[in-house]
Structure 1
Amino acid sequence: MSELSFPPAMTGEAVEALPEEVAVAKAISGVDAGLVTWRAAADRVGAALVLAPEVPLRRAMAMLPLAGVGFQNALGALAPPEVAVHLEWGGAIRVNGARCGMMRAFAATRDPEAVPDWLVISWSLDLLPVSMETGHDPDRTALFVEGCADVDPALLVEAWARHTLAWIARWEDPDGLRALASEWRGLVHGVGEDVTRGDVTGTFLGVDEEFGMLLRLPEGTQVHPLTELLEETP
């Protein structure tokens, strides 16, 4: 399937390279926002969205959890109802409790107060196990072994684009951030558990108003902003 149907505000491009690499290169060259690059291989599917934020990076990074919610909504609509999809603060996608994919973010700047020229949010999902030795890593799974063999990877990309655009439109409303936070909190994995960020381990209490991770440490609560998750330009 090479031609997908995207919402009017988006354009799609099937690519052979990693979607995030193509999206970042095109963003740097000045492509219009709304481009979705995608690739569906036999063992993995992924997509990336180019955005042109009009707010400082610290606020624009809300697009990472927003796109994650869009992904959960999309897979939830296509997968059997018993399949559970959750999101880690750090970007991992969990299907039926085990890691199955990853959300990633790239931006033109790392300055939290600067308005970035571009922001790219991407995701990838394993369709088949990385190793044929199933059970070797019980915390890792693949979509097709979790009761989702009938999910069309290309249609998943299509659905993600639609759901993500709907959430972006909602996020721009006065109460949109509150609605997004409420939806995301119902999907986030690991609240109340001990997690490690860098060289610090603490209890994951939840997030602040900009989706920064709140970690409870013996000396008090520490905030880790979403900008920590930005990756180097590929």
Structure 2
Amino acid sequence: MTELTFPPLMHGEACTADPMDHAAMRAVQGCDAGLIAHRLGANTLEAAIVFAPEVPLEQAAIILPLCGIGFQNALGALAPPEVAVHLEWGGGLRVNGASCGRLQAMSDTGDPSALPDWLVVSLSLPLWPSDDDADAAGHAPDRTTLYAEGCADVEPPRLLEAWARHTLNWIGRWEDAGTKPVHAEWRGLAHGVGEDARQGGSSGTFLGVDEHFGMLLRDAETTHLIPLSSLVRTP
């Protein structure tokens, strides 16, 4: 297997199980923040990063869109310039407008006011269609894979390394400068703003996000706020 090189404070750990489950297990065991569990398959790149937030979950959940920005920056540096990457509020990834993998978050707590012991963000990215995907392609034209979008020269190990570097960079910017630069970057990458959306039992026009990246949905009567922390799963 190709040797992986991660930035300082991060270290890799190959796994055979689902990387999010593996990373959560290691976090429960008390591993250091910065562990990156990874499983690089023939058709899929899967990885998960362990974080140790120092703020309550309501604020810490911003790590999910930070990881999304990190992924966009990473793929943008490695892919051909015509490849466009956008981010769904719920963690979905879009490549050239079509759904292509997703990010998910898990923590030991679902209480927005609680300080998490740990928070894990996972990445799942399809590289080539599986047999099931190929059979379903005609029924799901909105789904794609990385290599189908002109990225066949992007090596999964290098993309994983770049994701770690760019995510760490954005974590540092958030800690140093707050959410303002994160909002500015995310707005330019957001998918679906101004369009109809449904989330958490609410539906309406997706207006954007509040200061904590909560989703704002406007229906005929009011504006609903769906907290970003509602996307964070617990074991």
Q: What one-letter code is carried by the residue in structure 2 that aligns with 1:127?
A: L
Alpha-carbon distance between aligned partners in 2 of 1:196 and 1:8, rounded to the nearest angstrom: 40
Deviation at 1:176, TM superposition (A): 3.5
Q: Which residue of 1 aligns with 2:66?
A: 66
Q: Which residue of 1 aligns with 2:38?
A: 38
**What count of residue pairs does the alignment treat as equivalent?**
232
Alpha-carbon distance between aligned partners in 2 of 1:132 and 1:88, rounded to the nearest angstrom: 24
In the TM superposition, 1:86-101 aligns within 5 A as: 86-101=86-101
Q: What one-letter code is carried by the residue in structure 1 that aligns with 2:141?
A: P
| TM-score normalised per structure 1 | 0.96
Alpha-carbon distance between aligned partners in 2 of 1:40 and 1:31, rounded to the nearest angstrom: 22
CA displacement, residues 64-97 of structure 1 (integer Å, 9 cap, x when unaligned): 0000000000011111000000010011001010
**Deviates further, 138-147 or 8-17:** 8-17
Percent of counterpart pairs with the same letter?
60
Q: What one-letter code is carried by the residue in structure 2 that aligns with 1:110?
A: G
Q: Equivalent of 1:203, from 205, 208, 225?
A: 205
SS of the residue 1:159 aligns to: helix
In the TM superposition, 1:112-191 aligns within 5 A as: 112-130=112-130, 131-133=133-135, 134-173=137-176, 175-191=177-193
Give yes or no for contact 2:202–2:217 (8 Å, CA) kept in 1: no
Point out the structure with the larger helix share. Answer: 2
Give yes or no for contact 2:67–2:167 (8 Å, CA) kept in 1: yes
Unaligned runs of 5+ in 1: none
Alpha-carbon distance between aligned partners in 2 of 1:60 and 1:80, rounded to the nearest angstrom: 33
Q: What one-letter code is carried by the residue in structure 1 that aligns with 2:87?
A: L
Q: What one-letter code is carried by the residue in structure 2 that aligns with 1:170?
A: R
In the TM superposition, 1:18-33 aligns within 5 A as: 18-33=18-33
Deviation at 1:136, TM superposition (A): 2.7
Give yes or no for contact 1:2–1:14 (8 Å, CA) kept in 2: no
Unaligned runs of 5+ in 2: none
Q: What one-letter code is carried by the residue in structure 2 that aligns with 1:122?
A: S
Alpha-carbon distance between aligned partners in 1 of 2:13 and 2:173, rounded to the nearest angstrom: 25
**Deviates further, 59-68 or 13-22:** 13-22
Deviation at 1:194, TM superposition (A): 0.4
Q: What one-letter code is carried by the residue in structure 1 that aligns with 2:224?
A: Q
Q: Equivalent of 1:222, from 218, 221, 224?
A: 224
Deviation at 1:2, TM superposition (A): 3.9
Deviation at 1:128, TM superposition (A): 1.0
Alpha-carbon distance between aligned partners in 1 of 2:127 and 2:11, rounded to the nearest angstrom: 24
Alpha-carbon distance between aligned partners in 1 of 2:55 and 2:106, rounded to the nearest angstrom: 16
Alpha-carbon distance between aligned partners in 2 of 1:167 and 1:120, rounded to the nearest angstrom: 16
In the TM superposition, 1:100-111 aligns within 5 A as: 100-111=100-111
| TM-score normalised per structure 2 | 0.96
